[in-house]
Amino acid sequence: MSDWLYSDTVKDHFTNPRNVLLEDESNFDYDAKGQTGNIKCGDQMLMLLKIENDIITDVRWKTYGCASAIASTSMLSDTIKGMNIEEAYKIKPEDLVAKLGGLPSFKVHCSVLGDKALRNAINDYLEKTGRPGIFVDATTVICHCLGITDKDIENAFTNGARNWEQLQQATKIGTVCGSCKEKAVELLHGFEHIYGN
């Protein structure tokens, strides 16, 4: 395709996604489950992890997302195998975008689904093993529909989001009910004062 906007790595992970939860794997024996996104806006992600001694030994995932979401989650699933859960918890969307050789700016928000589902799965595992909240930074959820926090907005700001439209491009915030817009825009203005333009 002459108008393909993605790197060869993205194309490979989109057309040959790794570790996808297949229909015949409905009995995949997992230790942790994480889900994020909202089917109303078309993006939803499920992640299942097998963990031994805090090491991720296997992973399966499923999404209703687009090519960018599929490719970034495929890359994430390969990356975290054999990784300690604390190290995996710290993976950021921009790490995945870099590994993929970049994504179009209007598709970067799709890469947040996988890492959010991963953190939810790790939190699920920590809860089950009696260690809830040990990796969690103090965050405030701003967009309750999609679970977007003040840290996600700060991260988007440091990566160039300066207005509501750019913040939506980076995070998908406000694409379900929109009630978070006022608080999110306030935070953007606050980060302008902290970081400058």
Quick: pLDDT tens for 77-119.
999 999 999 999 988 877 888 888 877 666 666 667 788 889 8
pLDDT band at residue 163 under the 50/70/90 scheme: very high
Under 8 Å between Cβ of 63 and 69: yes
Res. 13: pLDDT tops 90: no
Residue-by-residue DSSP string for the chain: -TT--S-HHHHHHHHS-SSB--GGGTT---SEEEEEEEGGGTEEEEEEEEEETTEEEEEEEEE---HHHHHHHHHHHHHHTT-BHHHHHT--HHHHHHHTT---GGGGGGGHHHHHHHHHHHHHHHHHTT-TTTT-----EEETTTTEEHHHHHHHHHTT--SHHHHHHHH-TTSSS-TTHHHHHHHHHHHHHHH--
Under 8 Å between Cβ of 135 and 122: yes
Identify the pLDDT of residue 1.
44
Average pLDDT rounded to a whole number, residues 12-39: 84
Under 8 Å between Cβ of 50 and 31: yes
Identify the pLDDT of residue 193.
65
Backbone angles phi, psi at 59, to 5 degrees: -150, 145
Residue-by-residue DSSP string for 40-85: GGTEEEEEEEEEETTEEEEEEEEE---HHHHHHHHHHHHHHTT-BH
Q: Which of 110, 143, 145, 180 is catalytic?
A: 110
Separation of alpha carbons 24 and 39, rounded Å:
23
Per the annotation, the verdict on 145 as an active-site residue is no
pTM of the model: 0.71
Tokens of 16: 């040959």
Per the annotation, the verdict on 177 as an active-site residue is no
